[in-house]
Amino acid sequence: MKKVLVSTRLPIEGFSALKEHFEVVMPTDKAIFSKEEAMQLLPGFDAFLPTFQFKVDKDVLDVAKSSVKIIANFGVGYNNIDVKYAAECGIVVTNTPAPVIEPTAEQAFALMLAVARRIAECDRKMRLSDGLKWGVMENLGQSLYGKTLGIVGMGRIGQSLARRALASGMKIVYHNRSRLSTQIEKEYQAEYVDLDSLIQTADFISLHVPLTDETKHLINSERLRKMKPTAILINTARGPVIDEKALAVALQNKWIYGAGLDVFENEPEITPELLRLDNVVLAPHNGTGTIDARIEMSRFASRNIIRFFEGSRDITRVN
C-alpha cells in the first residue's frame, strides 16, 4: 500500500477516501511536524501533503525525491514550495483552488465591514471603563452601500466577493492582467479599469492576486499616496503584495482610512506599528479558517493524490 505523509494534523473526516487507498500518516501529539521530523519520515513515502505553514525547500525536496512522486499542497497558494526545483526532481505539485473560494471571499467581505464600521475598535474600547464615548456623533464609520469596490485580481475569489458586494449595493470596478468576458462583466455589473484608475477612485480596494515577482509590493508607498483619504484596503491574498512598512506609515498618517489584513509580509511576525493602530483589523491568515473549508480542502488534496496515482490528468497541477 502506498503511503502519504501529511505535515499537519487536519480533520480526519477529510481523508476517508484517501485512507481507502493509502496509508495516511499525520501528527498525533502535535499540530505540525517540524522540518527535521518530516525529512526523517519522507523517504519511503509516495506522496506529501503540506499546509502553507510548512516550507518545502530544496533540503526537503532533496530528501523527498527518492520516493515522493506528488506534493499535494493544502491551499490555493503554493509559494511555500520551491515549485521549480520540485519539477527538476520529477515531483508533481498540486493545489486546492476550489474549496477556498467562498470562505476567502467571506473573510474579505467581513474585513470590509469590520474596518468600515469600526467593529473591532469599538469592541476593544467598550471593554475598558473609559474606552469610548457614547453619542449620536461618536464612533462613526462608513457605509458600504453606494460605494465603489475595486477588485485587483477578478478571478474566482474576486468574483465571489463581487457577488456579495453587488448584493450590498456597491459598484464594482476591477483590474486583471486580462479583461474578463462581456458576459462575466455583465453578471457582476463590473467595469474594467487600469490599476492606477482603480487605486485613485475606489472607496474599497481588495487584493486577490498570487504572489509573483510582478505583484510583490504591488501596493507601495507611491500607490498608497494615490488612494482616497477615505479608502479602505483589504488583503486576503499574500502578505508581500503590500509593502507592510509603507502601509503602517500610511495608516499612521491617515493617507487612507483603514485596512483589513488576513496575511502579512513576514508571517507570523507583524510590523509592530500595525499592532498599535485602531484603523487596521488583523486576522491570523485564516481566510479559509472554517471547519467546513478544512474538511473540503483535505478531500480535494486527497482527490489529487488518488487521481494522480490512477494516471488521471484531472488534477490541479501547478508545475
Instruction: Kindly report, residue by residue over 189-235, the tens digit of the pLDDT.
Output: 999 999 999 999 999 999 999 989 999 999 999 999 999 999 999 99
Q: How distant is the alpha carbon of residue 237 from its chain centre?
A: 4
Same domain, residue pair 87 and 124: no
| Number of residues that this document lists for the chain | 319
Does the pLDDT of residue 13 top 90, yes or no?
Answer: yes
Query: What mean pLDDT comes out for the span 6-18?
Result: 96
Does the pLDDT of residue 131 top 90, yes or no?
Answer: no
Same domain, residue pair 125 and 267: yes
- Confidence (pTM): 0.91
* All three cell numbers of 224: 498608497
Query: What mean pLDDT comes out for the span 145-164?
Result: 98
Q: What is the pLDDT of residue 77?
A: 87
User: Which is the catalytic residue, given 118, 208, 223, 285?
Assistant: 285
Our answer to whether residue 238 is catalytic in this structure is yes
Q: Give the alpha-carbon dihedral of 265, 283, 220, 232, to 10 degrees.
A: 180
Same domain, residue pair 218 and 255: yes
Our answer to whether residue 265 is catalytic in this structure is no
Same domain, residue pair 142 and 261: yes
Same domain, residue pair 93 and 126: no
Same domain, residue pair 40 and 144: no
Residue 315 lies in a domain: no
Residue 59 lies in a domain: yes
User: Percent of the chain scored above 70 by pLDDT?
Assistant: 100
Within 10 A of 53 (CB to CB), how many other CB atoms are there?
15
User: Percent of the chain scored above 90 by pLDDT?
Assistant: 94
CA atoms 190, 194, 199, 205: torsion sign: positive
Same domain, residue pair 254 and 126: yes
Q: How far apart are CA 229 and CA 186, in angstroms?
A: 30
Q: Tens of pLDDT along 52-83?
A: 889 999 999 999 999 999 999 999 989 899 99
Residue 12 lies in a domain: yes
Our answer to whether residue 267 is catalytic in this structure is yes
Nearest to 113 by CA among 157, 152, 159, 167: 167
Does the pLDDT of residue 175 top 90, yes or no?
Answer: yes
Whole-Å CA distances, 105 to 110, 236, 258 = 9, 8, 19
Does the pLDDT of residue 164 top 90, yes or no?
Answer: yes
Same domain, residue pair 128 and 93: no
Domain count, the chain: 2
- Which SS3 state, helix, strand or coil, does residue 25 take? strand
Same domain, residue pair 138 and 262: yes
173 - beta bridge partners? 150, 191
Q: Provide φ and ψ at 147, rounded to 5°.
A: -95, 165
Q: Tens of pLDDT along 265-319?
A: 999 999 999 999 999 999 999 999 999 999 999 999 999 999 999 999 999 999 9
- Which SS3 state, helix, strand or coil, does residue 236 take? coil
Q: How far apart are CA 125 and CA 260, in angstroms?
A: 18
User: Which is the catalytic residue, given 118, 175, 238, 299?
Assistant: 238
The band of 243, judged by pLDDT with boundaries at 50, 70 and 90, is: very high
Same domain, residue pair 151 and 257: yes
Domain that holds residue 88: 2-98+290-310
User: Which is the catalytic residue, given 9, 267, 273, 307?
Assistant: 267
Q: Tens of pLDDT along 33-50?
A: 999 999 999 999 999 999
Q: How far apart are CA 4 and CA 25, in angstroms?
A: 6
Degrees to nearest 5, angle at CA 131 with 129 and 132:
120
Looking from the CA of 309 toward its CB, the CA atoms found within 13 Å total 19
* All three cell numbers of 116: 468600515
Residue 72 lies in a domain: yes
Does the pLDDT of residue 6 top 90, yes or no?
Answer: yes
